[in-house]
């Protein structure tokens, strides 16, 4: 039997870089919100210790894939608690790579959540977050599973409530290199930490910014073009350090109306912003496929 798990996208509604640690990690302040727009992962447990990814990502070796790395980190716990555990995993990819939507981190987090459940390891959410942080700074937020303010290197969370809305997300034809952006000498690294209410609306968030945006616009003209086009219809912002840009609408109808005006050279999708991760919904009601 295979079980189906969602691996959702996220948006950084703003992103301030407030400093840099001696080990090179940047200190951040951001707001995460999830989208009802997801990759899908199919898991089938096995009685040996083989982790098999049935469909590899182009240009990504299986050993470097965060799905495989997450599964193997959990195996250390499965061996001590339940004996040998393995899995066949199939990824149905929908989220663009390098888009700033957290696709790889979300895949890793969903793998940790799913295999913890399927292997009956009973690790706590905090234990899974700790494992996830070893894989990447964005992995813990997908395990946390609630819209929040994130600080530190992205692992300190304060839950918030965001007003319901719909997003139009543009996907420029490029992949932004995160390491390249964070190593740019012109990147702002001294933004002040701001006080944020636990209930937020887009009117307030729209007054903030993404500190990475100026560097990405300079290096990737496709992103600059997308931001310029989308800003005709609202406050346009880049998410994370990826290429995708977005703006908010109060209804799906309004978002889809603007999407019809998109030039043929651009790609986009419309998605609802949600305060709880669809992956957490999967955990509560796992779908099984024969």
Catalytic residues, by residue number, are 10, 138
Reduce the DSSP state of residue 127 to 3 states and report it. helix
Give the C-alpha distances (Å, rounded to integers) separating 250 from 4, 151, 255, 272: 31, 28, 8, 10
CB neighbours (10 Å) of residue 77? 19
Q: How many beta carbons lie within 10 A of that of residue 33, not counting itself?
A: 24
Contact 136, 69 (CB under 8 A): no
Virtual torsion, Cα 276, 279, 284, 287, nearest 10 deg:
140
Give dist(CA 134, CA 23) in Å, integer.
Answer: 14
Question: Which residues does 197 contact at the CB level (< 8 Å), separation at least 6?
Answer: 160, 204
């Amino acid at each position: 039997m295979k079980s189906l798990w969602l691996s959702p996208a996220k948006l950084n509604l703003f992103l301030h870089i407030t400093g840099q640690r001696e080990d090179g990690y940047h200190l951040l302040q951001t707001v995460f919100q999830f989208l009802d727009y997801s990759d899908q992962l199919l898991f089938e447990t096995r009685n040996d210790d083989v982790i098999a990814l049935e469909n590899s990502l182009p240009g990504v070796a299986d050993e470097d894939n965060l799905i495989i790395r997450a599964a193997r980190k959990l195996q250390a716990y499965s061996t001590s608690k339940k004996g040998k555990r393995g899995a066949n995993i199939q990824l149905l990819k929908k989220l663009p790579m390098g888009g700033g939507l957290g696709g790889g981190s979300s895949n890793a987090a969903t793998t940790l959540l799913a295999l913890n459940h399927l292997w009956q390891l009973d690790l706590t959410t905090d234990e899974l977050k700790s494992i996830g942080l070893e894989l990447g700074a964005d992995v813990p937020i997908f395990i946390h599973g609630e819209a929040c303010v994130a600080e530190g290197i992205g692992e300190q969370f304060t839950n918030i409530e965001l007003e319901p809305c719909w997003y139009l997300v543009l996907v420029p034809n490029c992949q932004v290199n995160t390491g390249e952006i964070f190593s740019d000498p012109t990147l702002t690294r001294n933004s002040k930490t701001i006080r944020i209410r636990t209930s937020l609306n887009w009117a307030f968030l729209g007054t903030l910014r993404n500190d990475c945006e100026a560097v990405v616009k300079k290096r990737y003209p496709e992103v600059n073009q997308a931001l310029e086009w989308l800003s005709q219809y609202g406050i346009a912002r880049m998410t994370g350090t990826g290429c995708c840009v977005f703006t908010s609408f109060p209804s799906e109808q309004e978002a889809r109306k603007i999407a019809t005006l998109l030039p043929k050279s651009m790609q986009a999708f419309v998605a609802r912003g949600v305060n709880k991760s669809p992956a957490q919904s999967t955990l509560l009601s796992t779908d099984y496929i024969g």
